[in-house]
Amino acid sequence: MFRGLFEHALDPKGRVSIPAHFRDVLANLEEKCLIVTATPDRYLVAYPTATWSQLEQKVRGLSQFDRDVVAFKRLYVASAMECPLDKQGRILLPPLLRERGGIVRDIVFAGMGETVEIWDKALWHEVIEKDRPNWQTIKQTLANLGV
pLDDT digits (tens, 9 = 90+) for 50-98: 999 999 999 999 999 999 999 999 999 999 999 999 999 999 999 999 9
pLDDT digits (tens, 9 = 90+) for 113-133: 999 999 999 999 999 999 888
Give the C-alpha separation, 100 to 102, whole Å. Answer: 6
Backbone angle region of 42, left / alpha / beta, with phi > 0 → left and psi within -120 to 50 → alpha: left
What is the helix, strand, coil percentage profile of the chain, to 5? 45, 30, 30
Give yes or no for residue 49 having a pLDDT over 90: yes
Give yes or no for residue 34 having a pLDDT over 90: yes
Give the C-alpha separation, 109 to 4, whole Å. Answer: 8
Q: Residue 108: beta bridge partners?
A: 7, 119
Stretch 27-35: mean pLDDT, rounded? 95
What was the pLDDT predicted at 132? 87
Give yes or no for residue 30 having a pLDDT over 90: yes
Please give the torsion angle defined by the CA atoms of residues 46, 50, 55 and 60, in that order, rounded to the nearest 10 degrees.
130
The structural domains of the chain, ordered by start, are 2-121 (3.40.1550.20)
Stretch 95-108: mean pLDDT, rounded? 96
Q: Residue 81: beta bridge partners?
A: 36
Stretch 27-50: mean pLDDT, rounded? 96
Largest Cα span, the chain: 46
